[in-house]
Amino acid sequence: MRVLVSVDMEGVAGVVHNDDIRPGHGEYERNRALLTAEANAAVRGVHAYAADAEVLVADAHAQFRNLVPELLDQRAELVRGTPRSLGMMAGLAADVDAVLFIGYHGKAGTARSVLAHTISGAVIADVRCDGASLGELGLNAALAAHFDVPPALVSGDDTVAAEAAEAAPGMRCVVVKWALGAHAARTVHPHEACRRIELEVPQALDERAAVRPRRFEGPVRLEVRVHRPHMVEHALLVPGMERTDGCTVRYEAPDFPTAYDVLELITVLGAV
């Protein structure tokens, strides 16, 4: 069995503020260890289900250099650093048996959601594929579905769990905190969060065939709304990109992975 574990940071137990997730802050350094601990809990859960499993952990927050390598479970391999194809889902391929999302968060615009955003809170206001608004969980679950890989589990706050019910019905959810606002939550102890993740992963893997993620077959119409008009001007440097209003661009992608990579490019260009 091969399992990809995509690990973000905003959904980790105890994390509630921007200082908790940004390099250079004391809280960030502490939370790197909490992030790695939740990733390790997922790895342990995979091996409880299949002792000989191959586990690839993709660091999927910010510049993809957050997990503490020497603290990661030695049975797992780590994908670290950027830029890279498939971004948060680097390592995804048709021979992967399941994807687990650890430390995930709500999409941009979600009310009462801890640190909600999509890809980049400074650039992206909304992402739509064929008219459907998607956050990081929805985008990544759909990408997994393109490769016929079931997205089996997500951990984070209660708002991302609600999002999972729409993005991939049947996906198992581990709620480690309940949002009280953008920078406030009621949270379980970090050790309890790890215990819950470890216990839930085997069940999620056993039931993965029942998950029904949203799929995008054939060409995909990608629409991205950014926060500032100048970000659109940068995105228009991409051949085939169209402007639909002051802060929105549209791109007709031949398939979902291309739309995914173009979204990543729009984000990079928008931050310039």
Question: Is-contact 137 154, C-beta < 8 A?
Answer: yes
Question: Is 128's pLDDT higher than 90?
Answer: yes
Q: How far is CA 135 from CA 17, 44, 141, 256, in A?
A: 19, 27, 10, 15
pLDDT, position 272: 87
pLDDT, position 124: 98
Question: Is-contact 47 55, C-beta < 8 A?
Answer: yes
Task: Please give the Cα distance from 260 to 263 (Å, whole number).
Answer: 5
| Enclosing H/E stretch for 267 | helix 256-270
Quote the strand ranges of 140-247, DSSP E: 151-157, 172-181, 184-187, 220-226, 242-245
Task: Please give the Cα distance from 49 to 51 (Å, whole number).
Answer: 6
What confidence tens digit (pLDDT) does each residue in 168-190 have?
999 999 999 999 999 999 999 99
Task: Please give the Cα distance from 250 to 199 (Å, whole number).
Answer: 42
What confidence tens digit (pLDDT) does each residue in 44-77 have?
999 999 999 999 999 999 999 999 999 999 999 9
What confidence tens digit (pLDDT) does each residue in 78-121 have?
999 999 999 999 999 999 999 999 999 999 999 999 999 999 99
Task: Please give the Cα distance from 226 to 6 (Å, whole number).
Answer: 25
pLDDT, position 231: 97
Place of tokens 């859960």: 45
Question: Is-contact 152 99, C-beta < 8 A?
Answer: yes
Task: Please give the Cα distance from 17 to 7 (Å, whole number).
Answer: 18
Q: CB within 8 A of 254, min separation 6: which ones?
A: 219, 220
Share of the chain above pLDDT 70, in %: 100
Largest Cα–Cα distance in the chain? 53
Query: 203 in helix, strand or coil?
Result: helix
pLDDT, position 79: 98
Q: CB within 8 A of 272, min separation 6: which ones?
A: 234
Options 3.40.228.10, 3.40.50.10780, 3.20.20.70, 3.30.230.10; which CATH number does 2-106+136-210 get?
3.40.50.10780
Task: Please give the Cα distance from 148 to 159 (Å, whole number).
Answer: 26
